[in-house]
Structure 1
Amino acid sequence: MENKGKSPSKFSIKYNAPVTLTFALICLAALILGYATKKSVTREFFAVYRSKVSLAWFVRLVGHSLGHIDFDHFFGNMTLFLLLGPILEEKYGSKNLIEMIVICSVVESVVQMIFMPHTALLGASGIVFMMIILASAVNLKDGGIPLTMILVILIYLGKEFWAQFTTHDNISHLTHIVGGLCGAFFGFAYARMAAGKTAKKM
């Protein structure tokens, strides 16, 4: 039988989550630039630490989330980032996701400069933790907290709180905690905004 009026389906690759994919590509470009410049570009723009206020200082407030030490560090963060990013981008919108990433990055920078001023911070792990908690809050509604969200917070953030005071490694557990708290804040904030819009329509 002829299939009239319908064009044959064509396989295509879609740039389905522009913020998520662009973020990952910039992270990759930053990593390659770091290797090419023997980490000088990474130190200047993609790692945050206490320093004099300058144009580079402002770039580092957000740029540190784009920087990574090596490919193991990069792939470790991007695995979960690329998994959660498209889901959250569809749920909250590209513009809102950008805002959450920027705000979370700046908060992480401020906390880092206050509590660990002589240690450089880089990597998207804080953003990933924000996304983990935020993903657990997708069904959050005004007046009720999903049990799964509580469990995720207890498991992920509880582990990071414990590690912050009991382990000595090169992982910034404080950044993970800050990222998770930002995710919880954004989850509750957007749930309240959504509830307010629903109430106005009624």
Structure 2
Amino acid sequence: MIFLSEAVESQSFLIMIAITAFVSGLLHVVLFPNTVLLGASGIVFMMIVLSSVAGMKDGKIPLTLILVIIVYLGGEILSIGSKDGIAHIAHILGGICGAGFGLVGRRP
């Protein structure tokens, strides 16, 4: 099993965190201008999906990636619009960023 720290260098990881925070923050300001975005849950979702994508071998989709998408991101998509004080859009964008970073940064 490949651990996330083995697959991603520290500098690259910091850049991924900054991009995820910027994208989720920017979209949150555009979509919800009268609310405050607080916390790093979008970055945590990015790490969860990134670690699942890092486990891909020979182009095969791992079961963990399918489960993460169904359980975590599926639940967030269903929760959009609820008035629970949670930035579900940040979680979804974090997951999308994690998947994108994982697919772009895969080593052959």
- TM-score of the alignment, normalized to the shorter chain, above 0.5: yes
Of all paired residues, the percent bearing the same amino acid is 47
Alpha-carbon distance, 1:142 to partner: 5.5
**Contact 1:88 1:97 survives alignment (8 Å):** no
Alpha-carbon distance, 1:168 to partner: 1.3
The residue type paired with residue 182 of structure 1 is C
Q: Distance in 2 between matches of 1:175 and 1:130?
A: 10
Q: Which runs of 5+ in 1 are unaligned?
A: 1-86, 196-202
Instruction: Please state if 1:170 is matched with 2:85.
Output: yes
Alpha-carbon distance, 1:141 to partner: 3.7
Equivalent residue number for residue 133 of structure 1: 49
- Count of aligned residue pairs for this structure pair: 106
**Contact 1:161 1:173 survives alignment (8 Å):** yes
Q: Which has the larger radius of gyration?
A: 1
Equivalent residue number for residue 113 of structure 1: 29
The residue type paired with residue 174 of structure 1 is I
TM-score (norm 2): 0.89
**Contact 1:130 1:181 survives alignment (8 Å):** yes
Q: Distance in 2 between matches of 1:101 and 1:151?
A: 23
Q: Distance in 2 between matches of 1:129 and 1:121?
A: 15
Equivalent residue number for residue 152 of structure 1: 68
Alpha-carbon distance, 1:151 to partner: 1.4
Moved over 6 A (4+): none
Q: Distance in 2 between matches of 1:181 and 1:158?
A: 12
The residue type paired with residue 176 of structure 1 is H
Instruction: Answer 1 or 2: higher relative contact order, Cα 8 Å, separation at least 6.
Output: 2
TM-score (norm 1): 0.50
Aligned to 1:102, which of 9, 18, 24?
18
Alpha-carbon distance, 1:143 to partner: 2.8
